[in-house]
Structure 1
Amino acid sequence: MSAPDPTMADVAAAVQAGRDGRRAEARERLTALWERLGPEGDPLDRVTVAHFLADLQDDARDELAWDERALAAAGDLTDDRGHQQHAGSQVRGFLPSLHLNLADVHRRLGNEPAAREHLAAADASAPDLPGGDYGDLIRSGLEHVRAAIDRGSTDRLPTAP
């Protein structure tokens, strides 16, 4: 068994601060982690930090930038690194969520073509989602975003983080 990852522990603490309503504190803590990691930092750490930072943004354009960083970092991630953190974790299992987030933020920004492009990428990678709560959550999110795009809605979904 590998030793606990101190960066992931820091991420978890920051995310909890955000869930407790301390969004500014969570953003500051995760931004400091991002800066510490740098562009050559561990890809799993970068994906995770950027993914959670996106959810903490007040402006959709800032959220988009962090979602794009998360997807870019996933391009550097290997299954071996994913397994070190979560047994059986594979890079392709991250992609539906990352593309879902990008589809949703593009939708909210009124960029329907980009929203549909990322929704299609999420759909294409959805068979790689695990069963259970996480997979169900992402599949449900795909349907919510698809329905919102079809309605032409740019409103934040009540199911969004």
Structure 2
Amino acid sequence: MTRIGQAAMLLHGGDREEARNRFGALWAEIGETGDPLQRCTLAHYLADAQDDPGDELAWDLRALAAADSLAQERPVDRGAALALAALYPALHLDLAADYVKLQDPGAARLHLARARGASGALRDDGYGRGVRAAIERVARQVDGG
């Protein structure tokens, strides 16, 4: 997770290519069968590092699948369960934004509805307010304005 965080810092610092290279190397180590939390986190960041909307969608779908497998495979304590629940609105939001870029408003609306449905798990803090605001921004894009 530390190496994922270091590559994420590169991404947020604007070095998308180096971040993408490091994320790719980490994915080669972790793979499709690695720890679900690591797969979810890494796929989420790999999606953000993509230039092609189709590639971004593929990584966001992997992130969601890893979150689903984490929920099914690993017994989690209450705190971890709450953290995982709070991740779903952002995962569905990312998918909605991907489908907007790919000009698929039906799929975007589906994931917006799922993001809204899961948003009850968000706290009333900066992260929660940010995700809720982003859901509304993407909804306005889908609705044409």
Name the TM-score, length of structure 2 as normaliser: 0.91
Structure 2 gaps, min length 5: none
Q: CA RMSD in A?
A: 2.0
Counterpart mapping for 1:7-86 below 5 A: 8-78=1-71
Partner amino acid for 2:128? G
1:143 aligns with 2:136: yes
By percentage of residues, which structure has more helix?
Answer: 2
Does the 8 Å contact 1:44/1:82 carry over to 2? no
Give the whole-Å Cα distance in 1 for the aligned partners of 2:25 and 2:19: 10
Does the 8 Å contact 2:82/2:121 carry over to 1? no
Deviation per residue, 1:113-143 (Å, 9 max, x gap): 1000000110110101122011011000000
Give the whole-Å Cα distance in 2 for the aligned partners of 1:35 and 1:92: 27
Cα shift at 1:93: 1.4
Cα distance change, pair 32–82 in 1 and its aligned pair in 2 (3 A): farther
Q: Which residue of 2 aligns with 1:126?
A: 119
Cα shift at 1:97: 0.3
Deviation per residue, 1:53-108 (Å, 9 max, x gap): 1011111011000000000101111396766xx76643221110000000011011
Give the whole-Å Cα distance in 1 for the aligned partners of 2:110 and 2:140: 15
Aligned pair count?
A: 144
Partner amino acid for 1:54? A
Structure 1 gaps, min length 5: 1-7, 153-161
Secondary structure in 2 matching 1:135: helix
Secondary structure in 2 matching 1:77: helix
Partner amino acid for 2:52? D
Give the whole-Å Cα distance in 2 for the aligned partners of 1:76 and 1:96: 16
